[in-house]
Amino acid sequence: MKTLRADALRSRERIVRAAEAAFRRHGVDASLEAIAKDAGVGSATLHRHFRSRRELVEAVFQDSTGAVAAEASRLAAEHPPGPALFHWLQAVLDHTLANRGLATTLVPAADEHHGGFCGHDALEAAVAPLLVAAKGAGQVRADVTVGEVLSLVNAISLLADHDPGADPERLLGLAITGFGPRQCEQH
């Protein structure tokens, strides 16, 4: 994490800005070569700044994903534990649905030392206190982990990317309440 020379930093920011526009138009599978061209840099420059497509995606969505993470504490302050968690999961879903393909990067990083911002980790940290509170209020099963909750939201986002006819909000509702048998005898 060295500090960049002025011209390198300028290049980096132009790449991120160009990528942001390209992702909005074509999803996160947009051509890296076209992004480099839009940014006015060579493609080799883009590859040195971002060793993988995922690193570029994380950089582009760092701010917006961070904002969603930050919303967790606001919701915790304004709602009871159960609704706070469920509203926040809705917010995460809305965020990924608004940016096609973003969900593919909100998964634990396979690459180990990929340095820089990791959206998945930010969301995990944000949901942890919400989940603890919801469990304390008896609104969520005690055996559910933060990773599992995020995975379900992510799974629904991925599906929505592939099937435009799906109703993601409805599916999230089903996953929360379950479509199968109730187990009322235990609480």
Partner DNA sequence: ACCTGAACACCGTTCAAGT
Site residues (vs DNA, CB under 7 A): 4-5, 7-8, 10-12, 31-34, 40-45, 47-49, 52-53
SS3 118: coil
Least distance to DNA from the beta carbon of 22, Å? Answer: 10
Among 4, 8, 67, 174, binds its own copies (CB under 8 A): 174
Q: Contact region for its own copies (CB under 8 A) — 1-9, 14-22, 31-39, 157-165? A: 157-165
Q: Which does 90 bind (CB under 5 to 8 A by kind): its own copies, DNA, none?
A: none
What is the smallest separation between the CB atom of 64 and DNA, expressed in angstroms?
22
Given DNA, its own copies, none, residue 49, with its beta carbon under 5 to 8 Å by kind, binds: DNA
- Our finding on whether 162 is near its own copies (CB under 8 A) is yes
Helix extents (H) in the chain: 6-26, 32-39, 43-49, 53-60, 62-78, 81-97, 119-136, 146-162, 168-177
- For residue 114, the 8-state DSSP code is -
Structure tokens at 46: 């883009």
Burial of residue 156, with CB atoms counted within 10 A of its CB: 0-12 exposed, 13-18 middle, 19 or more buried:
buried
Q: Which of 23, 50, 61, 86 binds its own copies (CB under 8 A)?
A: 86
187, interface contact from DNA, its own copies, none, CB < 5-8 Å by kind:
its own copies
Q: Does 70 bind its own copies (CB under 8 A)?
A: no
Q: Which is nearer to DNA, 10 or 141 (CB)?
A: 10
- Structure tokens given for 50: 């971002």
Write the CB contacts of 157 (distance below 8 Å, at least 6 apart in sequence). Answer: 93, 96, 97, 102, 103, 106, 168
Number of C-beta neighbours around residue 173 at 10 A: 13
Q: Does 35 bind its own copies (CB under 8 A)?
A: no
Report if residue 29 touches its own copies, rule: CB under 8 A.
Answer: no
Between CA 15 and CA 85 the distance in angstroms is 35
Say if residues 105 and 52 touch (Cβ distance below 8 Å): no
Residues that bind its own copies (CB under 8 A): 82, 86, 104, 107-108, 110, 138-141, 144, 148-149, 151-152, 154-156, 158-159, 162-167, 170-171, 174-184, 187
